[in-house]
Amino acid sequence: MSLSNLTPIPELFVSPESAQKLKIEAGTLPSWDLTPRQICDLELLMNGGFNPLKGFLSQADYDSVVENMRLADGTLWPMPITLDVSEDFAAGIEPGQDIALRDQEGVILAILSVTDRWTPDKAREAEKVFGADDLAHPGVNYLHHTAGKVYLGGPVTGIQQPVHYDFRGRRDTPNELRAYFRKLGWRRIVAFQTRNPLHRAHQELTFRAAREAQANLLIHPVVGMTKPGDVDHFTRVRCYEAVLDKYPQATTTMSLLNLAMRMAGPREAVWHGLIRKNHGCTHFIVGRDHAGPGKNSQGADFYGPYEAQELFKHYADEIGIEMVDFKQMVYVQEKAQYFPVDEVPEGATVLDISGTELRRRLREGLDIPDWFSFPEVVGELRRTSPPRASQGFTVFFTGLSGSGKSTIANALMVKLMEMGGRPVTLLDGDVVRKHLSSELGFSKEHRDINIRRIGYVASEITKNGGIAICAPIAPYTATRRAVREMIEAYGAFCEVHVATPLEECEKRDRKGLYRLAREGKIKEFTGISDPYEAPTAPELSVDTTGVDVDNCAHQVILKLEQMGLIAGN
């Protein structure tokens, strides 16, 4: 049997001696501070996880990957790995230049020798890579609203790995895993990819997969960037460690993968297979709706449940790793065990708890049955996700100037303080501009920065169990979504659209701002010379025309009660 899966693979790091010299030289180069996603990509480029890539894709490779899932030389590679930068930074960089790539603390990790600089057609990239240019897809939303407008490509010279302070003993490079498998004499290794806590169905699935492939098992969870709203990786790793002893120690190991997922379904499955091959695996589990992001903007699934398996099967020989495919695992009550959904005995009672239902039970403090999960996992999840009435949350008011946002927000603050139990902080748009954003103007870019600052502060308050009430205009959908994602990582988010019509807002305008805007004396004024993108699905919409403030604030209280965020009287 060929043992090519256990021989070392190329890395992009220079020797420690060369790294010291390069670090000094790189200090004089233009430098780019990497985003969290770029740090994940760079780590896997440097350590061989993205082999055969030698750096960020050139324009020719990018075009070929987007169109055909292949590099320009024909090698199978389904995912564009590009260094996206701002237009301002790109304007000062020419092909032929070197740039230093730094982490968020300013540590130089690598040097990029720029060969290509181009402005991509992101709509085309979304359509080809994700199957639709639909902002409901988190990967598409990232592409349009977070990623930089210009791409740089070229080979990377690795100086040092990104530093991880957490779970260091569980993080392995591809070559470290290959050496581990060699040492233990493992020849056939099946990898299990996950971004969720492990429940009993996952355990049964992995047991069956290892038996079917006659292989040892690598539990290989992603701890880089996953889907917004996923359980944080600290909690997940504690869950994995809690159930690892349910597996036979001699045949199972776990390693953490610092991958930034794109949630690209079928293409992502092929990508995950190539990455696991680089880590020394011979088999890979592809389950139902692998790396699926959920529903599109029409309410349908982005990808078919077994589309990923079909695409993987098509390219299996080129990937060089065998697929172990599984249908959804469900619990059969009469047999007291799990079965693949297509093997359930006729007439049997099938029990299943969806991810949505699990979150509801955690949120409301309801029972989670033993047949579904392990007590240790449920305990960890309850620690991180206590019932909603004990969590921090954010109420985010948005609406035109003069709509009544600040007035309702003040009334709500008083009502919540009267109830007691959690500290309440009001982040009013004008007050935040005075204390946190006094240097900002009213351009779209500056408004976005201001709203993201508010969102960041609110997320910290929410994370620490408090209540944040925000009352900015927040005119742009994409920025409000970014704030929602920031906050929902730690607690609940209740968006309240104060939908008072423009005519009514103008009537109330004591400072005469609308009049000045109509006369052209105030530029970029929301509702007059700048657009207001009204929320399409806020948790609550209120119109303050002819309605007293107390009534509006009470509507918000009722909504918070309905969401389980405050206890009913």
Instruction: Give dist(CA 471, CA 556) in Å, integer.
Output: 13
DSSP 5: G
Structure tokens at 365: 């403090």
Q: Are 475 and 447 in contact (CB under 8 A)?
A: yes
Among residues 75, 115, 146, 196, the one annotated as catalytic is 196
Exposure string for 114-144, b = 16+ CB within 10 A, e = fewer? bbbbbebebeebbebbbbebbbebbbbbbbb
Task: Name which of 273, 49, 50, 13 is nearest 173 in CA terms.
Answer: 49
C-alpha pair distances (Å), 534 with each of 90, 295, 443, 500, 541: 33, 22, 19, 11, 10
Q: CB neighbours of 428 closer than 8 A, spacing ≥ 6?
A: 406, 409, 471, 472
Structure tokens at 165: 């302070």
Which residue matches tokens 């299943």? 352
Q: Are 93 and 36 in contact (CB under 8 A)?
A: no
Q: How far apart are the first and last CA of the chain?
A: 70
Task: Respond yes or no: is residue 195 known to be catalytic.
Answer: yes
Instruction: Give dist(CA 324, CA 208) in Å, integer.
Output: 10
If one counts every other C-beta atom within 10 angstroms of the C-beta of residue 254, the result is: 20
Task: Respond yes or no: is residue 196 known to be catalytic.
Answer: yes
Among residues 82, 194, 394, 398, the one annotated as catalytic is 194
| Three-state secondary structure call for residue 565 | coil
CA geometry: angle 149, 532, 538, nearest 5 deg: 95
Sheet holding 337-340, edge to edge: 337-340, 329-332, 350-351
Which residue matches tokens 């201001």? 450
DSSP 37: H
Structure tokens at 328: 């959804």
Among residues 37, 117, 178, 195, the one annotated as catalytic is 195
Q: Are 545 and 504 in contact (CB under 8 A)?
A: yes
Just list the catalytic residues.
194-196
